[in-house]
Every structure is written in structure tokens, then in C-alpha cells.
Amino acid sequence: MQYYQKGAIKVTSKVILITGCSTGFGNRAAKALADQGHIVYASMRGVNAKNKKPASELRAYADSQNVALHVVELDVTSDSSVESAVSMVIQDAGRIDVAVNNAGVMPQGPTEAFTVEQFRQNLDVNTVGPFRVARAVFPHMRTQGEGLLINVTSILGRLALPSFGIYQAGKWALEALSESLRYEASGSGIDVVLVEPGPFETELVPNAPAPGDRARLEQLKDVQERFEQMMAIFMETFANPEAPTDPKLCVDGIVQLIAMPAGKRPIRTVLGMDFGVNEFNRLTDPIRRGAIGALGLESTDEVKTS
């Protein structure tokens, strides 16, 4: 790690890889962390094709602000793409201190009307993708004796609502995967934490995949109508100017987690409108700790620090 001077304070500069930086939290977090003096690798797929414009804008931002913000090609659904991107960062920077699994999609609509292939694609992005990144960065972090993996899930990784079944399946799975990785990696100095955002003003909803089985969707008009009614109520809440829906809140939460010392980061951080998830986490965490404690695994809940 390197150091940079921020006023009178000497701050640790970390090498950070973020997925899904073409829009949303990833794009904003890449800029915010680079502005702090970190060395940021903002990744996305199609940097010379589909996402050529946001990639160019990030490069222009780096030049104008004179920050260490680099754009990297990375498709979380491809083993070779993930491995190539991680190898490039290691070759370029010599290490990876933080990996942020932010890339994701949010299918919404009657669950039964999604095709099996759509279900597979969702899991490949929202669950298998973060696993690919973890597998790629962990050996390097283990060699370093330290590292941080942040997996961005959702409050819908803890709650279940109708018409988000495909999305929730991937995020609930990522929650369980992250807990297991936390316990297994802690002895190597690797911290694994979860960020659970509520609804924010990002491109996730406008870009949401719709059910692909139109014939089945036609049979589920009543389900679709209830979904639309639910969304209308939600949008009224979302439109409240007092509602915490500014994406900066989520970005700030990620920035703060990175700044925390190893071993002090909570396993879960809820950001924005929580719909009771903070309380749910508070009430269930003793059960989680009790379960691993009963098996003599209490120490695996805290990252080993030197």
C-alpha cells in the first residue's frame, strides 16, 4: 500500500477493483474513492462497445481530476474475463487490497413468467459473478495477508416480495455465499462484508429485465396487476423528498467500510430505506453467532489481523 497526504493526515492509499462501473453505485464509488487518493480500477463489460461512452467519461474524469482511476474490461459472467482483469491489475499495481462486487441486474415481474434461461442468466450475474471475482482475488489477498471483499446485495437479499423472485433468489444466495466466505477467509486476513442497499435513484430499475415468456405472462394478469399496484405505492414512498434515496448515501457507506480497520467492519451494512431490515439483522445476528459458536467457530467471524 502507498500513502498520500490529505491535509495534515497521512492516509493509506489502497488498490481497489470495482465491478459494474458503467452506471450507478459503481460509477460513483469509483470517482469518490479515486478522489480520496486510492488507486481505482473501474471495471465493466464492453469498454470498446456497449459501454464505450461511460468508459470514455471515466477516463476523462481521471484526466481532468488528475486521479488514479483506470478503466478495465471485465465481464462477471466470464471466467476468462474476470481472471484476465484481476491479472492485469496485479501486474499493473502489484496487489489488490479491495474488491467490490457491485455489478448486478434486477429482473422484475411475475416470477413464473421468466424463462429458465433468464433465471440462469440472473444467477450468473448476481451470484456466480461475485464468486468468480472472489476466487480470482483471494489467492493474491491471501499472499498479502490482508484484503477486503465487499459484496453488494440488497434489502431484497433479506426480504421477499412478490414479482422480485428471480432477483431475490440471486441476492439471497449471495448473502449465504458471503457468510461462508467470511468464515473461511477470516484466518487469512481477508475481510468479507455485505452491503444491503434499499431503493436508490440509479439505472437498476429502468434497465430491469422483464419476463420473457409472454404467453405465460398473459395467464398471470392478476399477478401483474398486484405487482403494478405495489409498485405504485412504492413509487409514492420513493417520491418523498425526505426519503433517503440519493445514491451518494450508498457510495459513502462503501467508502466508510473501506476506511475501517480490518476486524472492525460489521458483516452487514444496510443503506437507505431499509423496510425493517436493520431490525431484522439486529434480531437474527445473535442466532447466527450462536450457530457458529455452538460449532466452536466463533473466531471465524472476525478477520485475523497482524
Nearest-angstrom CA–CA distance, 41 and 96: 10
Please give the span between the terminal C-alpha atoms of the chain, in angstroms, as a whole number: 15
Q: Give which of 160, 197, 199, 153 is closest to 179, Cα–Cα.
A: 153
pLDDT of residue 180: 97
Nearest-angstrom CA–CA distance, 256 and 271: 12
pLDDT in tens, the chain (306 residues): 444 444 433 447 999 999 999 999 999 999 999 999 999 999 999 999 999 999 999 999 999 999 999 999 999 999 999 999 999 999 999 999 999 999 999 999 999 999 999 999 999 999 999 999 999 999 999 999 999 999 999 999 999 999 999 999 999 999 999 999 999 999 999 999 999 999 887 666 667 889 999 999 999 999 989 888 888 887 777 778 888 888 899 999 999 999 999 989 999 999 999 999 999 999 999 999 999 999 999 888 988 876
DSSP three-state, residue 40: strand
Strands (DSSP E) contained in the chain are: 2-6, 9-13, 15-18, 39-44, 69-73, 98-101, 147-152, 190-197, 268-271
Paired residues of 270 in beta bridges: 196
pLDDT of residue 203: 67
User: Which of 41, 61, 167, 183 is the catalytic position?
Assistant: 167
pLDDT of residue 208: 84
CB atoms within 10 A of CB 137: 24
Domain 2-301 in CATH: superfamily?
Answer: NAD(P)-binding Rossmann-like Domain (3.40.50.720)
Cell numbers linked to 54: 461511460
Nearest-angstrom CA–CA distance, 104 and 20: 7
Nearest-angstrom CA–CA distance, 161 and 151: 21
CB atoms within 10 A of CB 140: 18
Q: Could you tell me if 48 and 56 are in contact, meaning their C-beta atoms sit under 8 angstroms apart? A: no
Q: Is 167 a catalytic residue?
A: yes
Q: Could you tell me if 96 and 61 are in contact, meaning their C-beta atoms sit under 8 angstroms apart? A: no
Nearest-angstrom CA–CA distance, 230 and 213: 22
Name residues whose C-beta falls within 8 Å of residue 140's C-beta, 6 or more positions apart in sequence: 86, 90, 95, 96, 147
Q: Give which of 37, 31, 32, 35 is closest to 54, Cα–Cα.
A: 31
Nearest-angstrom CA–CA distance, 65 and 191: 31
Nearest-angstrom CA–CA distance, 255 and 271: 12
Instruction: Please report where in the chains the cell 469518490 appears, as a residue.
Output: 32
Nearest-angstrom CA–CA distance, 213 and 8: 60
pLDDT of residue 7: 40
DSSP three-state, residue 13: strand
